[in-house]
């Protein structure tokens, strides 16, 4: 987890709050703007006063063979502590330290986060001869699923190491002191035990049965995605890198992420923006391995399942319909394909578009995310009714589970996945920590799309299959 909040300023209404933290360093917000500086004293910026101190300084440079930061796998560079990650097939970004941090909540969390990041980047001093998506200043983002409750976080690391198209680079943000941080050995979490979270598996079965009953009534919803959580406790302090390494080893084609204590490996890409190109991979419709059934048989069964095809169509359409207004061109195939993972197979649709810039400025990634989140892959159809039903029937706080997670750079590029197959670290419990406990505590999440002909027992089994990646990573399988 990140350093404790040392100083902060809050603004907004109770319905919509933003807190910008000077994490032993650099960025602060006020009701009227954002400033960046060093060594603020408590109350140095009373409400209503905009700050005018120093901007962020970001310097990128290429790493060359022979430098361990060039030659070692990205995840092995993480020094421990506040790990930040977005890695797939060995490429992507890892980061550590905290040069600036924003916490937002409420219905306009995306807009506020976007404004903060735009402003930080506009004022930043950037030296970036690398010039690739992800070089220069970067923020890792993890947004709350719902308008209420839950907070969203943007973290600007002090050091980022990136790899793209075979090029490795390092970016330091701020004074670069954290660049020298040496990775400590990764520590295993010891014994893992599980208990009910806020919604037990039996409670989940009941919630699904209730949803199915209501959906079968006239005027009922077409689809709702219900989830539940599982509490894991470890006997030793939790080193997030242990999870990241094991997830990346078993799920290399997924995006292995860690942002502000939310850690997982997602197969679902909400949006990627590279210049004017946008891309999304929508997943919905699932089958999981069964004794005596080959992968080919399972794939054929999934493709021919009307229930799964319906679940999928709602999700793919929700993304395409909401993304289209921002695009001059959008291609969404009519037929889904099958994505095969170790634990499950999904129906998948890859959507590609070109952003329009009619007013001279294409929509930013966070604005696009605000428009498309939640798709019917994690919300439902119609969206607003589904989100209300989720809150009523789950009765738990999803936090940032199923929200957008990923990174943004200063040129408008970035990738946001859907935060599934993940856990929220509630307490890493470093030895000597305030809790006096030595073990860590995490909440694992999994959910399933429910349609009027869903079988509650099968949905419980599906959720169990979706919990496996994090469980196995925690238990040391790689
Ligand atoms: C909600 C989750 O997964 C989503 C639901 C799916 C489904 O219902 O078939 C498939 C992929 C994801 O879009 C999850 O893994 O927690």
Mutate to test the pocket of ligand 1, among 222, 228, 341, 449 (most ligand atoms within 8 A of CB): 449
Residue 126 has what pLDDT? Answer: 98
Question: Per residue in 70-80, pLDDT tens?
Answer: 999 999 999 98
C-beta neighbour count of 201 within 10 angstroms:
16
For residue 125, what pLDDT band results from cuts at 50, 70 and 90?
very high
Instruction: Dump the DSSP string for 96-143.
Output: ES-SEEEEEESTTHHHHHHHHHHHHHHH-EEE-SS-STT-SSEEEEE-
223 catalytically annotated: yes
For residue 191, what pLDDT band results from cuts at 50, 70 and 90?
very high
CA of 473 relative to ligand 1 center, distance in Å: 19
The two tokens of residue 328 are 């001059």
Residue 419 has what pLDDT? Answer: 99
Between CA 193 and CA 197 the distance in angstroms is 12
CA of 463 relative to ligand 1 center, distance in Å: 9
Residue 30 has what pLDDT? Answer: 31
pLDDT above 90 for 197: yes
pLDDT above 70 for 244: yes
ipTM over 0.90: yes
Residue 429 has what pLDDT? Answer: 75
Q: Is 390 in the pocket of ligand 1 (CB under 6 A)?
A: no
CB 402 within 8 A of CB 418: yes
Question: Per residue in 305-351, pLDDT tens?
Answer: 999 999 999 999 999 999 999 999 999 999 999 999 999 999 999 99
Q: Which of 200, 157, 163 is nearest to 179 (CA)?
A: 157
For residue 52, what pLDDT band results from cuts at 50, 70 and 90?
very low
For residue 135, what pLDDT band results from cuts at 50, 70 and 90?
very high
CA of 63 relative to ligand 1 center, distance in Å: 38
Of the listed ranges 137-146, 172-181, 350-359, the least confidently predicted one is 172-181
Which ligand 1 atom sits closest to the C-alpha of 445?
16
CA 270 to chain centre: 10
In the chain, what percentage of residues exceed pLDDT 70? 87
Residue 10 has what pLDDT? Answer: 34
CB 195 within 8 A of CB 231: yes
pTM: 0.91
- Which residue's CA lies nearest to atom 9 of ligand 1? 285
pLDDT above 50 for 29: no
Classify burial at 117, counting beta carbons within 10 Å of its beta carbon; exposed 0-12, middle 13-18, buried 19 or more: buried
CB 151 within 8 A of CB 103: yes
Higher pLDDT, 66 or 430: 66
Between CA 6 and CA 23 the distance in angstroms is 6
Catalytic residue among 268, 311, 394, 462: 268
CA of 98 relative to ligand 1 center, distance in Å: 32
Domains, the chain: 8-180 (no CATH), 192-474 (3.60.120.10)
CB 448 within 8 A of CB 420: no
For residue 382, whether the previous peptide bond is cis, meaning omega lies within 30 degrees of 0, is: yes
Q: What is the CA radius of gyration of the chain?
A: 22
CA of 32 relative to ligand 1 center, distance in Å: 40
Mutate to test the pocket of ligand 1, among 227, 229, 262, 284 (most ligand atoms within 8 A of CB): 284
Tell me the pLDDT of the chain averaged across its residues: 89
Residue 175 has what pLDDT? Answer: 83
**Eight-class DSSP state of 184:** P
Q: Is 449 in the pocket of ligand 1 (CB under 6 A)?
A: yes
pLDDT above 80 for 24: no
> At how many degrees (to 10) do helices 456-474 and 240-250 cross?
120
Question: Per residue in 407-436, pLDDT tens?
Answer: 999 999 999 999 999 999 998 875 544 555
Residue 178 has what pLDDT? Answer: 82
Q: Is 227 in the pocket of ligand 1 (CB under 6 A)?
A: yes
């Amino acid at each position: 987890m990140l350093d404790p909040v040392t100083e902060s300023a809050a603004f907004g209404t109770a319905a919509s709050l933003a807190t910008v933290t000077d994490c032993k360093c650099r960025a602060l917000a006020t009701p009227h703007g954002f400033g960046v500086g060093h060594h603020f004293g408590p109350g140095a910026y009373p409400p209503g006063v905009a700050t005018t101190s120093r901007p962020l300084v970001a310097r990128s440079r290429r790493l060359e063979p022979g430098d361990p930061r060039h030659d070692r796998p990205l995840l092995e560079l993480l020094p421990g502590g506040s790990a930040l990650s977005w890695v797939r097939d060995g490429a992507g970004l890892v980061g550590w330290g905290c040069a600036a941090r924003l916490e937002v909540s409420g219905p306009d969390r995306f807009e506020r986060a976007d404004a903060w990041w735009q402003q930080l980047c506009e004022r930043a001093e950037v030296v970036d001869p690398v010039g690739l998506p992800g070089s220069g200043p970067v923020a890792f983002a993890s947004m709350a699923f719902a308008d209420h409750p839950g907070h969203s976080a943007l973290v600007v690391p002090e050091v980022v190491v990136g790899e793209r198209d075979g090029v490795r680079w390092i970016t330091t943000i701020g004074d670069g002191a954290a660049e020298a941080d040496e990775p400590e050995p990764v520590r295993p979490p010891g014994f893992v035990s599980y208990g009910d979270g806020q919604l037990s598996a039996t409670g989940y079965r009941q919630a699904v049965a209730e949803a199915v009953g209501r959906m079968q009534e006239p005027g009922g919803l077409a689809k709702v995605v219900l989830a539940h959580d599982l509490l894991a406790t470890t006997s030793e302090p939790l080193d997030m890198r242990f999870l990241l390494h094991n997830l990346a080893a078993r799920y290399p084609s997924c995006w292995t992420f860690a942002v502000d204590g939310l850690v997982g490996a997602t197969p679902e890409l909400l949006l990627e923006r590279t210049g004017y190109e946008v891309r999304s991979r929508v997943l919905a419709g699932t089958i999981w391995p069964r004794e005596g059934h080959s992968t080919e048989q399972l794939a054929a069964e999934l493709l021919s399942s009307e229930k799964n095809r319906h679940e999928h169509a709602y999700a793919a359409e929700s993304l395409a319909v909401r993304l289209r207004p921002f695009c001059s061109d959008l291609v969404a195939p009519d037929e889904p394909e099958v994505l095969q993972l170790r634990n499950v197979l999904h129906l998948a649709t890859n959507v590609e578009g070109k952003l329009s810039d009619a007013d001279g400025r294409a929509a930013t990634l966070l604005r696009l995310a605000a428009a498309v989140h939640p798709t019917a892959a994690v919300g439902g159809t119609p969206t607003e009714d589904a989100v209300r039903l989720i809150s009523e029937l789950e009765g738990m706080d999803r936090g940032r589970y199923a929200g957008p997670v990923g990174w943004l750079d200063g040129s408008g590029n970035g990738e946001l996945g859907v935060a599934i197959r993940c856990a929220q670290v509630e307490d890493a419990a470093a030895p000597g920590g305030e809790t006096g406990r030595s073990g860590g505590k995490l909440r694992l999440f999994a959910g399933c799309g429910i349609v009027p002909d869903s079988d509650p027992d099968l949905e419980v089994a599906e959720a169990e299959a979706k919990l496996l990646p994090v469980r196995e990573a925690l238990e040391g399988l790689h």
